[in-house]
Structures are given as structure tokens and as C-alpha cells.
Structure 1
Amino acid sequence: MKNRLDATAVAALLLCCLLWGLNQVAIKAALPEVPPLIQLSLRSVGAAVLLLTWMRMRGIRFSLDDGTLWPGLLAGALFAVEFACIFIGLQHTTAARSTVFINTSPLIVAAVLAAFVPAERLRPRQVAGLLIAFGAVALAFAEGFGEGGALLGDALALAAAVLWGLTTVTIRMTVLRRAPAELTLAYQLLVAAILAPLAAWVVGERWPADWSALALGSVFYQTVIVTFASYLLWFWLLTRYPATRVQSFAFLTPVSGLLFAVLLLGEPLGWRLVLALVGVIAGITLVNRRAS
């Protein structure tokens, strides 16, 4: 493993963050044509097929004897509900607001681990980071009370952040932390590939009669580019470069997501949302900074 990020790593990290930032915009853009749970179903099934093919080529197999089954199913269920919240929430709020709220997840992970793992106890600086971030997010969330349906979308985005955080905690505190990253992702995608179509059927979502180039491009982007290719690239980076340095680029995802939403969807950019974004970035920085 290399001890520093070279030009290849920096370029790859920037690409991942830009791709993930654009993901919310892609989902939102397709919603007028493709219902949320059908989008999630197509993304999950397609990416699962691609990933299982990749795993077969790499010799990575499922085993009932390695202890990953039940933690994997739990992580998969959390993952499926998380993305259901994201997709449905985007029907009710902007992609910009959703991006900022979802990316509070690292802060939730820090708070949960601090509550249950003595070694993860927070220092005063980290507590200050949490307070700054959640205070800024609360200010932006309060804005949704005056925007009708936006409040529901904002709440679902925050619920997705909590579920993402719980998924991360599940992985870190079970045997999944020692399993190949592709195996953990496979559990998540396979469970979502089962639950999402069932949920779409239960709520009565209808298959689109006609598909525009935008809708097809959005589903392709979410499935092949984001859920399959970018995740594999991220895992590759984590195996070759220091994890702390790789993770330090994560703040670029909400920044790029907000900018893409404003530039491509024409969404409004209020001062409270900008303040929330700055607060989240500052909070993540303070929480993750190592003691000197």
C-alpha cells in the first residue's frame, strides 16, 4: 500500500465524488417518467448482475460458513430502506437539499460508535464538530416547514442518512469488516433487488409506457456508472492508499451534488442550505481529524 496519494489517486477520488454528486440529480431528473421504487429496482437488479459477474471472474464467493450471512442480510435491509427513502424523498424535496442532508451520515456514525464503543469516545473538538454540523442542518431543515411537501422529502433524506450510518456501523462491528468489500456490496444489492420490486408492486407503481433518452440515460448512469463502476473504483482506492486520506475527499460529494442540482436542474440555492453544507463539512473535518 502506498503511504500517500499520487496523481492517479487524486484524479480517481475527484471522479468518484463528482459521479456521486451527480447521482441525486440523475434520480430527480428521471422521476417524472420512472417512479422511484421502479428506478431503485432497476438499479439494484442491474448492478447486482454486474457485480456477481465481476465476483465470479475474481473468484469471490458466498459461503454460509464465514459468518457473513446474517450481518450481510441486515446491512442489505438497511441499504434497501435507505435508498427507498432517498428515491421517494426526491419526489418531495430538491436534489440540493437531499444531498446535504444525506451526507450527514459520517456524523451519525461517529455519534453511534461513541455511544457504544469506548474506544470511539468523542473528544471535545469532535463534539463541537457534531454540534456545529447538526445545528446548521437543523437551520436548513426548519426552512422546509414553510415549503409544504419539502418537509417530508427532507425528513426522508435525514432518515436515509441515519440508515446509511447504521449500515456503516453494522459493517464495522461485525465480521463484514473482514470480508471482501465486493461481498458486502453484493449482500446490499441482492437484498435491495428483492425488496425494491416487492415494494414497487405493493404501492402500485406502474412501469413507464415510454422511455425518453433522459430516463434511459439516468437509469444506465445510476446502475453501471455509479452503483457498479464507481464503487469498485472506490474499493480499489481503499486497498492501495491510506483509508483516512481517501475518506478525506468525501466532503466533495455534497459540494458537487449541490452545484450540479443548481446548474443542471435550476434549483434554488438559499443561504440556509449553503450554511448547512458548510456546517456539515466543518463537522466532518473536526470529527475525523486526528489528535495532534
Structure 2
Amino acid sequence: MPPKTQLDRTAVGLMVLFCTIWGLQQVAIKFGSAGISPVWQAGLRSIGATVLVFAWASLRRVRLFEADGTLGAGLLAGLLFAGEFALIFLGLEYTTASRGVIFLYTAPFFVALGAVWLLPHEHMRRAQWAGMALAFAGVLVLFGENLFGPEGDAWIGDLLIFLAAMFWAATTLTVKATVLARASAEKMLIYQLAVSALVLPPLSLVLGEPGVFAPSAAVWASLAFQVVIVATASYLGWFWLIRHYPATRLSSFSFLTPVLGVLAGGILLAEPLTPAVFAALGLVGLGIWIANRPAPAAR
């Protein structure tokens, strides 16, 4: 499938589905943290997903071990991926899912900035910048009252997750700007999962984490959701998308995730759904529409 310059219905539908899953991820991490240490939980997730992606690739006869020049870029992407999720899981120990998600979803701006130098063929028009700004304004409306008034140690978690956003953007740019862009989605993902599966458990031991300290049905269910749905199915789809569609346009769509995450919190955690939620939905939807409009035809 040749790379495309616009998002078609397939890409839009998949991005809405994935953004919903990623919004639920914040709730799942919180549930899992009630019984599993943060970095250990991230490591278990990567180990389980590595096994599943290997099985999937074997069934589809995808070649994962052929020499294709992707090893260096793949290891770099894997280390960035491990750093991203170590920071996310640690950050959520200090801050709420609602606070954390706004910092995590600054990543599309880092992708857009990096694309200026690394992906010149994905030039950002002024309308796209304006659309992304509108979408981010929607997120600020939703979380603004808390963004500028952190209490206690919340700023530590905010900072960790803000750094995680930079790691996420760096991973996306590594995939798009190197030979990894020619690799299969399965190979892109297995580099990241396998490296993080090797890095995160030893990091957990170095940090002195207790590991699994209060197992329960909810804890194991949240981990299973992260392994099967998030880290395997949605990430395979995401890396297939960024291989075939413009990274900047896909990243602008990801602003749906924090809003959908708040909706999930309202449904699953009985968090209040205020008028700001619906205002944010409107701004995010408008921003995504503007950012993904085709360029006007030249006269």
C-alpha cells in the first residue's frame, strides 16, 4: 500500500477507535496500580504483548528477523518506548489521570515541530497549525483550572508525563524518518515491546519496587486489557497507520484521546461531566476537522 497524503475513512475510523482505547488506558493503569508497582506493571505489559505480537506475526508469516538495516533504528525506538512508558506509569503515581493526559497529549506538537526538520515532505500548512491549536485549546478548557494550580507532589507527575510526551514524539519521528518506515507494523512494534520488556523489569528492581503486592480480579483484568487491547491490537494498528499516512495529520487526531478519557472517567469512575467537557469536545472536533482538510487546489 503506497503512502497517502490525506486521511481516508479507514484511517479516520481507526483513529477514533484507537483514541477511545487510549483514553480508557489511563483508567486501566490506575486500576492496575492498586495492586502492581508502576514500572513492574509496564514491564509485565510489554512482556505479555511481545508474546502476542510474536504469535500474530508467526500466524501471518511476517518476517521479523531478516537483515533489513532496521536494527539500529529499532533499538533506538525501543529505548524511547521504554522510557516513555516508565515515565507515564511513574507519573500517574503522583498525579491524576486527568492531569496527566493533558501533558501526555502535548506529543503531537513535538511531532509537528520535529517534522519541520525531519519530515520535509509532511509540510504543515497554517490551517493545520490553527487546527491543532484549536484542538489543544479544547484540552486546556477541560483541564485549565487544574493546570495552573498543582497541589502537593502533583507537579512531579506532571513533569514526568510531559517528558513522556517528548519520548512518544521522538518514537514517532524515529519510525517515520528512518528505515523503520519501510518495516512491517509487526516489526516496528516488536522492536519497541521486546526492548522495553528487557529494560523495564530490571529498572523496576533498581527502583526497589515490590512488584505485584495486592492482586485482585480488577488488577489482572486491567493488565489484560493493557496487554491485549492497548499494547498489541491498538499499537499494531497505530504503527500500520503511521507507515501509510502522514504522521502530523494522525497526531492531530490524537487530541480526541484526553476528551474521551474524561468521558471514560465519568462513566467508569463516576467523575463529573461538566459543561467544559462538551465545550472541549466541540473545540477538539473543530480543530481536527480544520487540521485534516485537504489543501485548496492551486489555480
Contact 2:266 2:272 in 1 (8 A): yes
Counterpart of 1:146 in 2: which secondary structure? coil
2:194 alignment counterpart: 190
1:226 aligned residue (222, 226, 230): 230
| Contact in 2 for aligned 1:113/1:120 (Cα 8 Å) | yes
Q: SS state of the match for residue 9, structure 2?
A: coil
User: Contact 1:141 / 1:154 at 8 angstroms: preserved in 2?
Assistant: no
CA pair 14-210 structure 1, distance change in 2 beyond 3 A: same
C-alpha separation in 1, matches of 2:62 and 2:140: 43
> Hey, what's the Cα distance between the residues in 1 that align with 2:113 and 2:123?
9
Contact 2:26 2:261 in 1 (8 A): yes
- Give the letter aligned to residue 80 of structure 1: A
DSSP 3-state at the match of 1:53:
helix
Instruction: Check the 8 A contact 1:110/1:287 in 2, yes or no.
Output: no
The alignment-based identity, stated in percent, is: 44
Match of 2:99 in 1: 97
Q: CA deviation at 1:207?
A: 2.4
The equivalent of 2:168 in structure 1 is: 164
Tell me which residue corresponds to 1:65.
67
Structure 1 unaligned residues grouped into runs of 5+: none
Residue 35 of structure 2 aligns to a residue whose secondary structure is coil
Could you report, residue by residue, the CA deviation over 1:147-199 in whole angstroms, capped at 9, with x for unpaired residues?
22222222222212111111111111100001001101000001110111011
Shift of 1:253: 2.4
- Residue 89 of structure 1, CA deviation: 1.0
For residue 118 of structure 1, report the CA deviation from its aligned partner.
4.0
Partner of 1:25: 27
One-letter amino acid matched to 1:79 = F
Please tell me the residue identity of whatever aligns with 2:96.
T
Distance (Å, rounded) in 2 between the aligned partners of 1:138 and 1:236: 30
Q: Is 1:84 the equivalent of 2:86?
A: yes
- Confirm or deny: 8 A CA contact 2:36 2:213 kept in the other structure: no
TM-score, normalization: structure 1? Answer: 0.82
Structure 1 residues 144 and 278, CA gap change in structure 2 (3 angstroms): farther
Instruction: Give the match for residue 109 of structure 1.
Output: 111
Unpaired runs of 5+ residues, structure 2, are: 2-6
What is the alpha-carbon distance in structure 1 between the residues aligned to residue 156 and residue 121 of structure 2?
A: 36
**CA 1:269–1:115 in structure 2 vs 1: closer, same or farther (change >3 Å)?**
farther
Partners of 2:65 and 2:145 in 1: CA distance:
43
Deviates more, 1:59-68 or 1:230-239: 230-239
Equivalent residue, structure 1, for 2:55: 53
Partners of 1:110 and 1:237 in 2: CA distance:
17
| Residue 205 (structure 1) aligns with | 209
**Against the structure 1 CA distance between its residues 146 and 161, is the aligned structure 2 distance closer, same or farther, given a 3 Å change threshold?**
closer
Q: CA RMSD in A?
A: 3.5
Contact between 2:139 and 2:258, CA under 8 Å: does it hold in 1?
Answer: no
Q: CA deviation at 1:59?
A: 2.1
Please give the alpha-carbon distance, in whole angstroms, between the structure 2 residues aligned to 1:170 and 1:284.
24
Q: Is the CA contact (8 Å cut-off) linking 1:97 and 1:258 kept in structure 2?
A: no
The one of 161, 165, 183 aligned to 1:179 = 183
Query: Counterparts of 2:129 and 2:9 in 1: how far apart (Å)?
Result: 29
Deviation at 1:271, TM superposition (A): 7.9
Matched-pair contact (CA < 8 Å) for 2:94–2:157: yes
1: CA distance, partners of 2:74 / 2:58: 18
What SS is found at the alignment partner of 1:85?
A: helix
Tell me the equivalent position of 2:220: 216
